[in-house]
């Protein structure tokens, strides 16, 4: 068994061990240990790649090049963070009681829900890793569908009216998007007109890129449009983003971060693979233009919704629509510097977004809801630590100067203004400024201001240093330190990924 096999076996095994009824500490050790081992294995795979080998398995159906290696490490990292935070999150939820209603159980987390959670989170990580390493477009599709199926019950976790609504919308929209992506895959396959044979390897990304000159242009274009709509739905690019705010609000924070960062990276990765085939066959304008358009639209659509937002986690969802848009836009520009900027953006976003999610999750747990009008203003006075961390997270994800996302956005902007899409980039810059203001307007409403009258307001739970708070602090350290110091290996992976994207035949 090679490293790649182990990288799939470990999270799958963790998922299986999550099913039986076991004492709580065993489950926690299993989840964190399994995801930690997965992260270590992904680092080992990346190291093998950097040493000059191309890890592959199953007759090249799985293959790790620079792009895969980067996304693989980022996904496994988010998986580990999610596992760590879920320990504290679930413990805290088990202590909290639901407001008593006659037909509902009093406990917030029932044992069967807990078992669901322990099995589905590693399964989700497994599917994400499979997405990142599959070279075969069919396997890629199967893995993306698996991520959707694994996450539906995580969205429905709290079993409220709104969770079921969110889960239903998520599943129907996600499956529809994936049906489109499947059609896109079939058409990409059809555009080769049988010249690649009909074995497993005929759907390999590497063989499609190699045969790009012979692909039938009309079929290919149709396939690219369908595949981009399909995988764009998973990435949450506008106008297919409508599931995102609902799902993020309802999903428990550890699952939310997997969707917002892990799945986002995975879906952008799929878009990029399709884009590279199209670019090799049709030149950069067609699919690059599609990516640019979808990206710009996402950034533009996210802006007004952030200004009128009424819920903390939905705010983060629209911020995630924005970041997906920035990545798509950077990749669509087709300039080498912008490509590097977009991949760097993906890296910094992965390192920074968990902080926002975890601190928002903590705030929501302490105040009993993530709706802004339930939380009330002046949280800085009532829950100082979580509020401060949330402000730091917001500074980073909105792209404020000393932090990484500022630099990656700057690189994309500079490359864009040097290219031919000046108008699009000007609109993009305007939206970024508005988004920044909007985010801080919302933040000011929640964090600052006088605390509400104590007689009418429910007192928040007291802050204490438990497992959840410790994980949030850890992610804060990661997010801040990464702005000033990226490990050289990670930077080498970003360069390797940009090299895969920019490699011209």
Partner 1 sequence: MTADDVVILCAAGMLVSVYLMVGQKALFVAIRLYGVQSVLLGVVAVAMALSEHRSHLFTSAALTIGLKGLLIPWFLMRVIDRIGIHREIEPYVNIPSSLLICLGLTIVGYRVSSGLAEADHAVTHHVVGVSLSMLLMGLFLMVSRRKAVTQILALLSVENAVFLVALGATSGMPLVVELGISFDVIVAVLVLGILVHRIVDRFESMDVSRLSKLKG
Binding site for partner 1 (CB under 8 A): 136, 138-139, 141-142, 145-146, 149, 152-153, 156, 159, 161-162, 164-169, 171-172, 175-176, 179, 182-183, 186-187, 189-191, 193-194, 198-200, 202-203, 216, 218-219, 222, 245-246, 249, 305, 308-310, 314
What lies within 8 Å, CB to CB, of 350 at 6+ separation is 74, 77, 78, 261, 265
To partner 1, the closest distance from the beta carbon of 142 in angstroms equals: 4
Rounded to an integer, what is the distance from CA 285 to the centroid of its chain? 27
To partner 1, the closest distance from the beta carbon of 165 in angstroms equals: 4
To partner 1, the closest distance from the beta carbon of 244 in angstroms equals: 11
C-beta closer to partner 1: residue 307 or 427: 307
For the CA atoms of 286, 292, 294, 295, what is the dihedral angle to 10 degrees?
Answer: 160
To partner 1, the closest distance from the beta carbon of 237 in angstroms equals: 18
Question: Which candidate, 401, 222, 398, places its Cα nearest to that of 315?
Answer: 398
At 394, phi and psi to the nearest 5? Answer: -65, -40
To partner 1, the closest distance from the beta carbon of 191 in angstroms equals: 6
To partner 1, the closest distance from the beta carbon of 219 in angstroms equals: 4
Element (H, E) at 489: helix 488-502
To partner 1, the closest distance from the beta carbon of 407 in angstroms equals: 32
To partner 1, the closest distance from the beta carbon of 45 in angstroms equals: 23
Lookup: tokens for 222: 């149709």
What is the torsional sign of CA 246, 249, 252, 253? positive
Element (H, E) at 32: helix 24-50
C-beta closer to partner 1: residue 250 or 409: 250
Quickly count: other Cβ atoms within 10 Å of residue 444's Cβ.
12
C-beta closer to partner 1: residue 105 or 384: 105
C-beta closer to partner 1: residue 130 or 360: 130
C-beta closer to partner 1: residue 119 or 338: 119
To partner 1, the closest distance from the beta carbon of 79 in angstroms equals: 21
Residue 440 to residue 484: CA distance in whole angstroms? 23
Lookup: tokens for 39: 């992260």
C-beta closer to partner 1: residue 206 or 400: 206
Scan for tokens 């039986």, then name that residue: 20
**CA distances (Å), origin 414, targets 244, 418, 453:** 30, 6, 49
Scan for tokens 């239903």, then name that residue: 168
For the CA atoms of 196, 197, 200, 205, what is the dihedral angle to 10 degrees?
Answer: 10
Residue 417 to residue 387: CA distance in whole angstroms? 37
Contact 220, 151 (CB under 8 A): no
C-beta closer to partner 1: residue 212 or 496: 212
Nearest-Å Rg of the Cα atoms of the chain is 22
C-beta closer to partner 1: residue 175 or 388: 175
Lookup: tokens for 402: 């000393």
Beta strand spans in 7-144 (E): 56-57, 62-63
To partner 1, the closest distance from the beta carbon of 150 in angstroms equals: 10
To partner 1, the closest distance from the beta carbon of 399 in angstroms equals: 24
Residue 474 to residue 407: CA distance in whole angstroms? 23
C-beta closer to partner 1: residue 185 or 471: 185
Q: What is the 3-state secondary structure of 169-188?
A: HHHHHHHHHHHHHHHHHHHH
C-beta closer to partner 1: residue 246 or 322: 246
Q: What is the DSSP letter of 377?
A: S
C-beta closer to partner 1: residue 118 or 145: 145
C-beta closer to partner 1: residue 68 or 202: 202
C-beta closer to partner 1: residue 305 or 428: 305
Q: What is the DSSP letter of 63?
A: E
To partner 1, the closest distance from the beta carbon of 162 in angstroms equals: 6
To partner 1, the closest distance from the beta carbon of 305 in angstroms equals: 7
Phi-psi region of 58 (alpha: psi -120 to 50; beta: other; left: phi over 0): left
Residue 123 to residue 149: CA distance in whole angstroms? 10
Angle, vertex CA 373, rays to CA 371 and CA 375, nearest 5: 70
């Amino acid at each position: 068994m090679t490293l790649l096999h182990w990288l799939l076996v470990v999270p799958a095994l963790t998922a299986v061990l999550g099913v039986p009824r076991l004492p709580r500490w065993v489950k926690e050790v299993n989840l964190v240990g399994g995801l930690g081992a997965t992260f270590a294995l992904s680092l080992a795979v990346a190291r093998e790649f950097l040493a000059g080998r191309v890890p592959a398995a199953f007759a090249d159906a799985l293959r790790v090049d620079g792009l895969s290696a980067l996304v693989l490490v980022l996904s496994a990292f988010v998986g580990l963070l999610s596992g760590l935070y879920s320990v504290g999150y679930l413990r805290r939820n088990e202590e909290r009681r639901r407001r008593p209603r006659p037909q509902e159980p009093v406990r917030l987390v029932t044992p069967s829900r807990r078992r669901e959670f322990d099995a589905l989170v590693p399964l989700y990580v497994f599917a994400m890793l499979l997405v990142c390493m599959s070279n075969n477009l069919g396997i890629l599709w199967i893995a993306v569908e698996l991520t959707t199926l694994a996450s539906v019950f995580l969205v429905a976790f709290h079993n409220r009216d709104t969770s079921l609504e969110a889960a239903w919308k998520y599943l129907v929209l996600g499956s529809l998007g994936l049906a489109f992506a499947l059609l896109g895959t079939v058409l990409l396959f059809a555009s080769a007109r049988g010249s690649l044979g009909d074995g497993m390897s005929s759907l390999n990304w590497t063989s499609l890129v190699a045969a790009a000159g012979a692909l039938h242009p009309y079929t290919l274009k149709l396939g690219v449009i369908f595949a981009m709509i399909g995988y764009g739905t998973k990435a949450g690019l506008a106008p297919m983003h409508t599931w995102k705010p609902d799902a993020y609000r309802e999903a428990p924070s550890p699952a939310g971060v997997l969707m917002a960062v892990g799945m986002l990276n995975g879906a952008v990765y799929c878009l990029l693979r399709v884009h590279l085939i199209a670019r090799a066959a049709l030149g950069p304008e067609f699919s690059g233009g599609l990516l640019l358009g979808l990206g710009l639209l996402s950034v533009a659509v996210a802006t007004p919704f952030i200004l009128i937002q009424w819920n903390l986690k939905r705010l983060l969802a629209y911020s995630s629509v924005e970041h997906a848009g920035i990545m798509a836009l950077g990749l669509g520009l087709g300039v080498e510097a912008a490509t590097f900027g977009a991949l760097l953006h993906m890296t910094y976003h992965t390192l920074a977004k968990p902080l926002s999610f975890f601190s928002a999750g903590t705030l929501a747990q302490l105040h009993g809801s993530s709706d802004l009008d339930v939380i009330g203003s002046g949280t800085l006075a009532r829950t100082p630590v979580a509020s401060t961390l949330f402000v730091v997270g917001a500074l980073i994800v909105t792209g404020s100067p000393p932090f990484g996302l500022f630099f990656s956005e700057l690189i994309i902007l500079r490359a864009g203004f040097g290219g031919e899409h000046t108008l699009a980039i000007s609109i993009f810059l305007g939206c970024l400024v508005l988004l920044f203001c909007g985010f801080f307007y919302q933040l000011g409403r929640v964090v600052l201001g006088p605390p509400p009258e104590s007689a009418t307001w429910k007192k928040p739970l007291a802050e204490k240093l438990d497992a959840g708070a410790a994980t949030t602090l850890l992610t804060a350290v990661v997010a801040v330190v990464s702005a000033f110091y990226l490990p050289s290996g990670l930077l080498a992976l970003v360069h390797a990924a940009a090299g895969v994207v920019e490699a011209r035949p």
